[in-house]
Amino acid sequence: MAREQLPYIGAILEAIREEMQRDETVLYYGQNIATTENDPFLQAFGPDRVRVTPISETAEIGMAVGAAVAGYRPVVELYMAEFMLVAMDQVVNEANRFHYMSGGQVKVPVVLKAGYGFTAGWAGQHTGTIYGMFMGVPGLKVAVPSTPADAKGLMTASIRDDNPVVFFHHYLLTLEHGDVPEGEHVVPLGQANVAREGSDVTIVGIGWTVGKALAAAEQLAADGVSAEVIDPRTLAPLDTATILASVEKTGRLVVVDQSTRHGSAAAVIAAEVASEGFSSLKAPVQLVCALDATIPYSEPMEEYILPNEAKIVDAVHQVLSPTAA
Amino acid sequence: MAVEGGAGRELLRTMWRIRVFEERVGQLTRADEVHGLVHLSSGSEGVAAGVCGQLRADDVVYSNHRAHGHAIAKGAPLAGVMAELMGRDGGLCRGMGGSMHLVDAAHGFLGATGVVGGNVPLALGSALAGRLQGGDQVAVVFFGDGAVQGGIFAESVNLATLWGLPVILVCENNGFAEFTPRSAHTNVERVSDVVSPYGLERETVDGNDVGAVRDAFARFLAAARAGGGPALLECLTVRLRGHYEGDPQLYREALAADEWQELDPILRLQRRGLEEGWLEADAPARLEQEARDEVEDAVHAARESPFPPPGLTVELVYAP
């Protein structure tokens, strides 16, 4: 019997809970968690494995990295992705390099759980879509789930992975509900999902923009345009093979990303396709990104700066137009 | 507590091995056989020996950019360290880490990091792991006085004391943070005073007096093994060489040779051993020669080791 749908955030927490039940080395630390005795994680796993930390990102992430080197699998609750920025040395210069620089002697299975993209009036410092800063960092893996089911499966895979993983969950998806498999559910890191099949154009969405891309594809279908929607699900490793195979079929590519254009994953994906799939392309690649600007506070301005369905549909029409090539 | 007999000879042996090893590394750097950025710990051997000599294999040590002495004192084989510095496949880290990123997991030397202060919270993680496993192992982290002015240090001291972690913070205070004297970094003269509000055990000792280092560290170690929390040991010491090999050191006067003879932790302990009668008259020369022979063997072994295969650069990016 199918169970009720779960919200995206519930699916993530279910993955953490199930992995903590399965493996005693999984720890859950971070800011603003387990602050009351009634906290379900605290009750289930006790204060050794579940603990609130001070607002000391560098020490908290560094300690988790050290515990990972020593054989544990910490999940660090970072609350806001931007809070990682104050601890960048630990994220992009320690955690990710230990396995490599030790010649493979040690491994660092740590998960940094970071909410991002909260473009709902949270203004300039709590809305960043900053995964582009991490996807090119050697040794890090970067997960960007777009659905509750993938959120669970990718979190499970992230905890089991022997490498540091930055798990970006989108705040605007927090309460989006969906079907989530009960019990063990693993979505391998590095495997894109073809979210919708189509033949005229490939639209790659990332995280929150996968839903936007699917909605645009639905609208395009009404106009007789068959759009294929690809969700990479992880940006590192990036499943370029699935994207290239799709572009080989459709000949046209639109990449949708909430990031600023010049710091986006979209730019990297476009470069990979231009470099490896140029002969398949019938039109220049279109990027639908946020403007290269800080997210403003005012609501209509927020809307102006971000990708949306209409912008995606426009971009698709551009790559399909006879003059595009 | 007196340093004597076997323990004294062991400390001397460790210090000579580090001293001679690093002298040789300096020569090999100038000859470009050791090819990269190298920081020598010459002058501070007493801290490495006094601390690491008391640790077990399952105790963990984290170090910084000036790591050779700590690694050797923790048990890393000289040939493995030398081959690493020469970038060879037979190096501790297969030539992937080099001088600033030595790791010898088998001996509990979990690693050296190249960004000042970046290693401190890592040691907290090891200490936490030890506690969670129910063991009595202890984590030690070495850092210089330059690391103390960074936010990461304050964050780590706060968290370590808050959680009562068995980590011993060992500060090698040589008065210089890279190329800058301590007076240009802070108004606080003693690092042990910096941490006073946190309520951890702390002490400042003469880091060139191996016996003093050993005794103070022994007290902290016993407390941490018995379930106590963190402690800070500040060792006032000397960095004989520049910040890195090749540093012209325009920012300071060289230490006079006779002044250094008074301070040198090796000579001091030898003088003491001879005076107190636990060291034979010919032992200093013998210990030095043994170290020289061992270091030469390490150089030969390292030269014999091939460079790593290029494929390793891709293979090691992710753990399988």
Q: Chain A contact for B317, CB < 8 A?
A: yes
* Strand pairing category for A141-143 and A234-236: antiparallel
CA distance A124 to chain B (A): 24
- Do A6-178 and A193-320 share a fold? yes
For A65-120, the pLDDT digits (tens) are 999 999 999 999 998 999 999 999 999 999 999 999 999 999 999 999 999 999 99
Which A residues 169-198 touch B at CB under 8 Å?
none
For the packed helices B5-30 and B45-52, what is the interaxial angle rounded to 10 degrees? Answer: 130
Which B residues 208-247 touch A at CB under 8 Å?
none
CATH fold label, A193-320: Rossmann fold (3.40.50)
The full set of domain ranges for chain A reads 6-178, 193-320
CATH 3.40.50.970, domain A6-178, yes or no: yes
**pLDDT tier at A298 (50, 70, 90 boundaries)?**
very high
Q: Which amino acid is at B17?
A: R
Q: Chain B contact for A112, CB < 8 A?
A: no
pLDDT for position B251 = 86
Say if the Cβ atoms of B122 and A103 lie within 8 Å: no
Q: How far apart are CA A250 and CA A233, in angstroms?
A: 21
Measured between alpha carbons, how far is residue B127 from residues A214, B59, B168, B173 in Å? 48, 9, 9, 23
Q: Chain A contact for B135, CB < 8 A?
A: no
pLDDT for position B226 = 97
**What percent of chain A lies above the pLDDT cut of 70?**
99
Q: Chain B contact for A163, CB < 8 A?
A: yes
pLDDT for position A323 = 78
Sign of CA dihedral B131, B134, B136, B137: negative
Task: For chain B, list the domains and their CATH numbers.
Answer: 5-305 (3.40.50.970)
Say if the Cβ atoms of B156 and A59 lie within 8 Å: yes
pLDDT for position A1 = 53
Evaluate the omega torsion of the peptide bond into residue A237 and state whether it is cis, within 30 degrees of 0: yes
Measured between alpha carbons, how far is residue A311 from residues A201, A228, A257, A288, A308 in Å? 15, 17, 12, 7, 5
Say if the Cβ atoms of A163 and B319 lie within 8 Å: yes
**DSSP, residue by residue, B267-282:** HHHHHHHHHHTSS-TT
Q: How far apart are CA A286 and CA A288, in angstroms?
A: 7
Q: Chain A contact for B291, CB < 8 A?
A: no
Pick from B96, B53, B94, B95: nearest CA to B72: B53
pLDDT for position A69 = 98
Q: Which residues of chain B have pLDDT under 70?
A: 1-3
Is A170 an active-site residue?
A: no
Q: Chain B contact for A64, CB < 8 A?
A: yes
For A14-69, the pLDDT digits (tens) are 999 999 999 999 999 999 899 999 999 999 999 999 999 999 999 999 999 999 99
Interface test with A, best of B128, B140, B161, B165 (most A CBs within 10 A): B128
CA distance B57 to chain A (A): 14
Contacts of B124 in chain A (CB under 8 A): 59, 62-63, 66
Q: Which candidate in A126, A169, A170, A185 is catalytic?
A: A126
Within its chain, how far is the Cα of A97 from the centroid? 21
Which residues 6+ apart lie within 8 Å of B311 measured at CB? none
Which B residues 43-102 touch A at CB under 8 Å?
60, 62, 91-97, 101
Q: How far apart are CA A134 and CA A141, in angstroms?
A: 8
Measured between alpha carbons, how far is residue B176 from residues A17, B242, B265 in Å? 48, 10, 19
- DSSP secondary structure code for residue A294 in this structure: P
The residue of chain B with its CA nearest to that of A87 is B152
Residue B278's φ and ψ, nearest 5 degrees, are -90, -5
Q: How far apart are CA B82 and CA B302, in angstroms?
A: 6
Which residues 6+ apart lie within 8 Å of B247 measured at CB? B179, B241
pLDDT for position B255 = 82
Q: Which of A48, A65, A237 sits opposite B122 (nearest CB)?
A: A65
Q: pTM (2 decimals)?
A: 0.96
For A178-218, the pLDDT digits (tens) are 999 999 999 999 999 999 999 999 999 999 999 999 999 99
CA distance A147 to chain B (A): 26
pLDDT for position B249 = 86
Q: Which of A48, A90, A105 sits opposite B93 (nearest CB)?
A: A105
Q: Chain B contact for A162, CB < 8 A?
A: yes
- DSSP secondary structure code for residue B177 in this structure: E
